Amino acid sequence: MYPLLACSIIALTVIIERSLFWVIEGMRGNRALLDRILQLCQKGDWDGVKEKVAESKDFVTRVLVTGILHRDFSMTKAMESAAAEEIKRMRRYMAVLDTMITVAPLLGIFGTVLGIIMSFELLGASGIEHPQAVTAGIAQALITTASGLGIAILSVFPYNYFNSRVENAVLTIEKYATSLEIVYEKLNGGSDK
């Protein structure tokens, strides 16, 4: 049960941390600012963009600003690199949560198997006269399986939710990065700089 307790604490810690992360990211998001940035880019007002994004902490804005700063070299590659960093930040600790979802039921089954082995050893030592001791031992051994499954089941919902948030963020980044590339190409008359 101690390893299962550790798994539950780790899973809960990751769930709380990721929940706080997404709440903060949600408060930082400003789609109106992103649209305003694209409007300024259409006019080639790079100083206006710099002024508008000075206070922003939105992840999409950071990706676009990286592209704008590298517009004379390789806007696309710069935004791809910045987006990869943002996505890495969003996926932080997700592998740990995934591991807890996988390991907790296995630890539970392992504990049950050990408990059943001990129950059968008790049956061998005491004989069939005391079957209550054996059945009580098996019932107690099944608690670890139930605990492991409980940890996994309660962790899989937040895990899937966090993954869906990452996927939505990726789509948002792609949408605005593509829009910026189109605006920039149009501004430069279709030439590739």
Q: Which residues lie closer than 8 Å to 37 by C-beta, 6 or more apart?
A: 49, 52, 53, 61, 64, 180
CA atoms of 51 and 65, how far apart (whole Å) = 11
Q: Looking at the predicted structure, is the pLDDT value of residue 192 above 70?
A: no
CA atoms of 113 and 65, how far apart (whole Å) = 56
> pTM of the entire structure?
0.81
Quick one: pLDDT band at residue 133, thresholds 50, 70, 90? low
Q: Which residues lie closer than 8 Å to 14 by C-beta, 6 or more apart?
A: 93, 94, 96, 97, 100
Q: Looking at the predicted structure, is the pLDDT value of residue 92 above 90?
A: yes
- The pLDDT tens digits of the residues spanning 46-58 come to 878 888 787 788 8
CA atoms of 52 and 105, how far apart (whole Å) = 50
Q: Looking at the predicted structure, is the pLDDT value of residue 190 above 60?
A: no
Q: What does the mean pLDDT of the chain come to? A: 86
Residue 165, pLDDT score: 95
